[in-house]
């Protein structure tokens, strides 16, 4: 990413943080300041989903088109970063659950489904480690991540709705209506956009690093 763009991203994220704590109002029905975690928790969960979809799309391109090292590494990098964000979403969720429900963890459908998503993509890394040959690894991992393209939406959007949940309504609820105070919505959208840009920046760095590592390991190419 070009330097001015990077500065813009930093400025944007700083503004989002300040706005989240000082400009956005508190949501009703939440204990203390706890609703403010929404501005970070929701974008993190969103970015993890975006990351897994990016991995799926790059993997599909790898399988259907030219099988380049770059596509393979880009998919792996997206999953690594996606796992990081999914973990952060899980931890922020647990912190909030401790405040609101007085317990870190209680297998709410949403907690259960993010754990399933985490395990699904952690297994991708296990698969990567278990296949030595580069060609076979690329092919098998790409097939698995492509499978993720169809099952991850299920983990994120269907599984959480099976069964009774205490989790607050998703921002866009089942009726497709947005029921959030306008200022909260602005901060939430700005934060989501910022985190998404942050992801693409991290992803680009990680992919470049992985490609260089692979080249170094192989010797000059």
Partner 1 sequence: MPVARLAFEGLSRRFDRLVVLDRVSGKVESGGLFAVRGPNGSGKSTLLRCLAGLLAPDRGRVVAVEDGRALANDERRRRVGLLAPDIAFYDELSVSENLELVARLRGLPPASGRAVAERLGLPAARPWRALSSGMRQRLRWAFAVLHRPRLLLLDEPFQNLDDDGERIARALLDEHLENGGLAVAASPVSLPLPRISGELRLDR
Partner 2 sequence: MSSGWTAEAAAVFAKDWRAERRARHAVATLVLFAITTLVIASLALGPIGATPGERSDVASALLWILLLFAAAAGLPRVFVHEEESHTATVLRLAARPSAVFAGKLAWVASLLALLEAVATPLALALFDLPVASPGRLVLALGAGGAGLAAATTLLAAIVAQGRGATTLFAALAFPLLVPLAVLAVAATRAALGGGDAGGVLVQLFLYDSTIMVAGFLLFPVIWAP
Q: How many CB atoms lie within 10 A of CB 151?
A: 16
Q: How many CB atoms lie within 10 A of CB 187?
A: 25
Query: How far apart are the C-alpha atoms of 204 and 104, rounded to whole Å?
Result: 34
Quickly list H helices, 154-181.
Answer: none
Query: Can residue 116 be called a binding residue for partner 2 (CB under 8 A)?
Result: yes
> CA separation (Å) from 135 to 54, 69, 142, 173, 201?
21, 9, 11, 43, 27
CB of 41 to partner 2, least distance (A): 22
Query: Can residue 133 be called a binding residue for partner 1 (CB under 8 A)?
Result: yes
Query: How far apart are the C-alpha atoms of 146 and 136, rounded to whole Å?
Result: 15
CB of 135 to partner 1, least distance (A): 5
CB of 143 to partner 2, least distance (A): 5
Query: Which of 101, 92, 91, 112 is CA-nearest to residue 162?
Result: 112
Query: Can residue 219 be called a binding residue for partner 1 (CB under 8 A)?
Result: yes
CB of 42 to partner 2, least distance (A): 23
Of positions 146, 191, 192, 207, contacts partner 2 by CB under 8 A: 146
Residue numbers 59-78 binding partner 1 by CB under 8 A = 67
Of positions 7, 14, 23, 135, contacts partner 1 by CB under 8 A: 135
Residue among 169 and 218 whose Cβ is closer to partner 1: 218
| Helix axes 134-153 and 109-130, enclosed angle (nearest 10) | 170
Query: Can residue 4 be called a binding residue for partner 1 (CB under 8 A)?
Result: no
Binding site for partner 2 (CB under 8 A): 63, 116-117, 119-120, 122-123, 126-127, 130-132, 135-136, 139-140, 142-144, 146-147, 150-151, 154-155, 158-159, 162
């Amino acid at each position: 990413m070009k330097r001015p763009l990077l500065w813009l991203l930093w400025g944007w994220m700083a503004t989002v943080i300040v706005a989240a704590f000082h400009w956005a109002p508190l949501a009703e029905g939440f204990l203390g300041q706890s609703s403010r975690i929404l501005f970070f928790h929701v974008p993190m969960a969103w970015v993890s989903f975006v990351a897994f979809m990016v991995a799926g799309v790059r993997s599909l391109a790898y399988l259907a088109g030219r099988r380049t090292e770059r596509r393979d590494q880009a998919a792996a990098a997206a999953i690594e970063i996606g796992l990081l964000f999914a973990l952060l979403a899980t931890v922020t969720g647990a912190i909030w659950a401790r405040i609101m429900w007085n317990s870190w963890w209680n297998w709410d459908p949403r907690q259960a489904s993010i754990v399933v998503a985490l395990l699904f993509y952690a297994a991708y890394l296990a698969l990567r480690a278990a296949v030595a040959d580069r060609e076979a690894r690329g092919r098998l991992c790409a097939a698995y991540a492509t499978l993720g393209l169809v099952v991850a939406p299920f983990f994120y959007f269907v599984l959480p709705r099976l069964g009774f949940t205490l989790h607050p309504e998703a921002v866009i609820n089942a009726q497709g209506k947005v029921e959030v105070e306008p200022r909260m919505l602005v901060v939430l959208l700005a934060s989501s956009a910022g985190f998404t840009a942050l992801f693409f920046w991290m992803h680009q760095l990680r992919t470049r690093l992985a490609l260089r590592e692979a080249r170094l390991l192989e010797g000059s190419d």
